[in-house]
Each structure stands twice: as C-alpha cells, then as structure tokens.
Amino acid sequence: MGIVILTAIVVVVAMFIDWKRTDQSREIEALRESLKTLEAAANKNLPTYPIETEDSKVESEAQSSETAMAITHDYTKTDDTEDTDDETDDDTDDDTDDDTDDETETEEEDTSVETEAETEDPSMMESISRYISDLESENSSLADEVIAFNDFGLQESAVIGSLMAAVESLQGDVNIWQINSDSQYQIISQLQRQINDATEHNSQLVAANEALSAMLASAQAALAQPVTTPEPVTQPSPPQDNSFKYVAIGNSITQHIVNDYWWNSNGMAASTTESDYFHRVTAYLQLLHGTVTAIPVQYVIWETQYNDRGETYFVIDNYLDESVNLVTIQLGENANNIDTFQQDLEMLINHVHARCPKAQVILIDDFWGMEGRSEMKRAAAANTGAYFADLTQIKDNPDYCAGLGSTVYDAAGNPHVIEHAGVAKHPGDNGMEYIANAVVALIW
C-alpha cells in the first residue's frame, strides 16, 4: 500500500513539474513574441536616410555644372554692349567667378543638408537607443526567467530522485517480506498436516471410546439381570492358553477408520478386509498355530509428534505384554520431520522388547520413499535386534498402488470407487500381498 501511495505522489509531482515547465515555456514564448513586436515597431518608425555612393556623387556634380552653365548664359546676355576684348577678359573672369560661385553654392547646399541631417539625428538616435535599451531589458528578464526555470527543474529532479530511491527501498522490503511469507507458508502447511493427522487420530479415539461405551452399557445391562445361584458342580481344569498372539503397530496401511472417503476399517487401500497385509499375515499364522489372537493398533500419532514421541507409548502399552509372540512395526510414511527419527525408532523397538520379552519384532520398510528415512529404519533394526522387511522393489511404484477408479468393498460387501488421490496412493491388493510375503519370510 505504501508503494502505491508513494508512486502516486511521484506521478503527481512529475505532472506538476511538467505543468510548470509548460507554463514557463508559454511565458518564454510570449516574451519572444513581444520582443519581435518591439523590433518590428522600431524598424517601422526609424527614418530612412539615403546612402551616398560614387554614382550619386557623379550625378550631383553633373547637375551642379548644368546649373552653373545656365547662370553664365543669362549673365552674358545682360552685358553684350561691352567691348569684345572686355568680353573676352570678362568672360574669362566671369567664368572663373561663376565656377567659384557654383562650387560655393554646392558646398553651402551640402552643408545645409548635413546640418539638417545632424539636427534630426540626435532625436532619432535617442529613440533607437531607448528601443535597444528596452529590448536588452526584456532580454535580460527573459534570461533570468530561463535560469530560474532551470533551477526549479533541477530541484524537482532531485526530489524525484529521492522519491524513486524511497520506492526502490520499499521494493526491497517487499521482497524480504515475500521471502519471509514463503517460509511462514511452509511452516503453516506443515502444521496443517500435523493437525490433519491429529484429527484423524482423534477420530479413531472417538470410535474406540464409542465402542468402550457400548461395552460398558452391555455390562451394566448384564449386571441389572437377576443373579441365580447355580448348583455346585465339579468343574474341569481350564485348558492352557496355547494360542499365538500377534500385535501389528502401524499407520493407515495397517488400519484406517471408516469416513466419507474410506468405507472399511482394514488397511488402506486393500479391496477387502482379508486382502490387507495384516489379515494375510494372520491367515499364515493360523496355518502354523491354529488359534491366533491378532490385534492391529493405529499409531500415526507417533509419526507426527516428532518433538517427543515417547509421550505416545500409552496408546500401545495396553496391547504389549509377556504373552505377545510377534510384533510388526509399520511406521514412517507420515514422519516428515526425521531429525531424531532413527533415535526415536530405536527407543520404540527397545520399549517393545522390554514389554514383550519373548516376541519377535519385525520392522517394515517404507512404502513411500523419503531420502534417508529407509536407511535410518534399516540401521535402527540392526542396532536393536529387530528384523527388517525390505520393500525396495515396490517403493513408490504406481503398479503396486490402488490408483484412482479402483473398486473396494465395505464390510457389507457394497462396492465403492476410489476418487480420493491420497487413498489411491496406498498399496492395492498386489502391494499388500508383497508386504505380507516380506513379513512371512522373516517369521520364525
């Protein structure tokens, strides 16, 4: 917002400078027009003096000679009664005198003209001087206006430069803010994923709570029934419990609750309950041991609570005891923060060993790969005496995923089509079979 306002100020200042320069240009043009008008007026009022050239001088002398000859001719007619000798002498003298008089007259006329011109010149020259002085004054004023206009333009250019520097500084702040905003967006995205995982786990807890509530209601109803005392009879000794106990700890690949995009409580995304890896391993154990107690435990909270995963052991402890024979651990696909992943995984395996001292522990490899995570799982298994079920051949392989458009069935046998991209990434029936075979190959 600040950049927009500052940019608007720069535009307004630039428009003002442009208007000011246009106004100054109009004033300068007006002064120039006035100067032209004054010069035209001066040229119109000045007197025009003839210029004396060599041709005009010759023409003037010829006119003066003609005038002198005319005067001599008249004078000769008046004195024709005088003697011939005297005429000759007199003519000679008269001619000489006439020439002298003519020259004198011509000089007097020239002097008169020059005197008259000299009499008129001072007044006209004074007028011209005043015009020139006025023009010089106007020109000086015009020069001052131009200098002032240039100074104003320099000042406004400096202001614009400062404003543009401020705009560039703000642009740099905006770039820094954009970088910080991207980092915050990544943090928010990660928090959102954790919230989603926590919401999923909470839904599972709610479902478990509802089941416990139903069991409690059933027990209370049973207690409400009248109690009859049976006749004493000799009871045979209870048979020894020789059944095999299997606990599968995992995420949605092991078990997922029913919701609007998944329609059964088995491992996602097997087409039927019997098709997921947990039920396939259980079927194998039944062939070996007959009676098998198999328990799947949804434990995605361990993956997402990376700051202290040990706090979540209460979720699994109720299923772990000395009677357990086999524990499979299928965790990691939702663990995006793996800073302490290997250390936390080793602590979990050791915790299972402590609570189930006779159980075989099998750690299942990642179905979705993440750089370094699979290697951490392999090392954790080696450091704790657990077995490692390798899934390298099918990891991130779309041929072993369920895929969009696949058909799955709910507990009642009703078909449903997978339209959720997240569900489609989970192992299909062939992926589940591969995982089960990798586990079965390691069982004692």
Whether 347 is covered by a domain: the verdict is: yes
Whether 300 is covered by a domain: the verdict is: yes
pTM (predicted TM-score): 0.49
**Where in 137-207 does DSSP place strands (E)?**
none
Provide the pLDDT confidence category of residue 294 given band limits of 50, 70 and 90.
Answer: very high
Domain containing residue 340: 243-440
Residue of 134 and 235 predicted with greater confidence: 134
Residues 270-281: what's their mean pLDDT?
A: 97
Average pLDDT, the chain: 76
CA distance 282 to 294: 7
**Amino acid residing at 240:** Q
CA distance 183 to 180: 5
Residue 79 has pLDDT above 80, yes or no: no
Whether 189 is covered by a domain: the verdict is: no
Whether 327 is covered by a domain: the verdict is: yes
**Same domain, yes or no: 171 and 247:** no
Provide the pLDDT confidence category of residue 147 given band limits of 50, 70 and 90.
Answer: confident
Residue 443 has pLDDT above 80, yes or no: yes
Q: What is the dihedral of CA 154, 159, 165, 171, to 10 degrees?
A: -140
Identify the pLDDT of residue 173.
66
Residue 143 has pLDDT above 80, yes or no: no
**Same domain, yes or no: 433 and 321:** yes
Identify the pLDDT of residue 224.
57
Identify the pLDDT of residue 375.
97
**Same domain, yes or no: 165 and 278:** no
**Same domain, yes or no: 130 and 254:** no
Whether 72 is covered by a domain: the verdict is: yes
Residue 72 has pLDDT above 70, yes or no: no
Contact 378, 433 (CB under 8 A): no
Identify the pLDDT of residue 71.
43
Identify the pLDDT of residue 330.
98
- Single out the residue in 157, 175, 193 at which a domain terminates: 175
**Where in 369-420 does DSSP place strands (E)?**
387-389, 407-409, 415-417
Contact 338, 412 (CB under 8 A): no
| Distance set, CA 202 to CA 296, 301, 332, 442 (Å) | 17, 9, 19, 33
Q: What is the pLDDT of residues 45-55, one digit of tens each?
A: 544 444 444 55
Whether 257 is covered by a domain: the verdict is: yes
Residues 11-16: what's their mean pLDDT?
A: 68
Number of separate domains in the chain: 2
CATH assignment of the domain containing 384 = 3.40.50.1110
**Same domain, yes or no: 248 and 115:** no
Identify the pLDDT of residue 187.
72
Residue 120 has pLDDT above 90, yes or no: no
Identify the pLDDT of residue 83.
45
Structure tokens at 276: 């997921």
**Same domain, yes or no: 152 and 301:** no
Contact 255, 265 (CB under 8 A): yes
**Same domain, yes or no: 162 and 256:** no
Q: Which residues contact 136 (CB under 8 A, 6 or more apart)?
A: none
Task: For residue 436, give the nearest of 385, 364, 352 by alpha carbon.
Answer: 364
Q: Residue with structure tokens 């704790």?
A: 384
**Same domain, yes or no: 140 and 263:** no
Q: What is the pLDDT of residues 192-247, one digit of tens each?
A: 777 777 677 667 767 766 766 676 666 566 555 544 434 443 433 433 456 899 99
CA distance 274 to 276: 6
Residue 67 has pLDDT above 50, yes or no: no
Residue 19 has pLDDT above 50, yes or no: yes
Identify the pLDDT of residue 31.
67
- Single out the residue in 130, 159, 175 at which a domain terminates: 175
Residue of 195 and 274 predicted with greater confidence: 274
- Percent of residues, the chain, with pLDDT higher than 90: 45
**Where in 233-317 does DSSP place strands (E)?**
244-250, 292-298
Identify the pLDDT of residue 52.
46
CA distance 438 to 444: 13
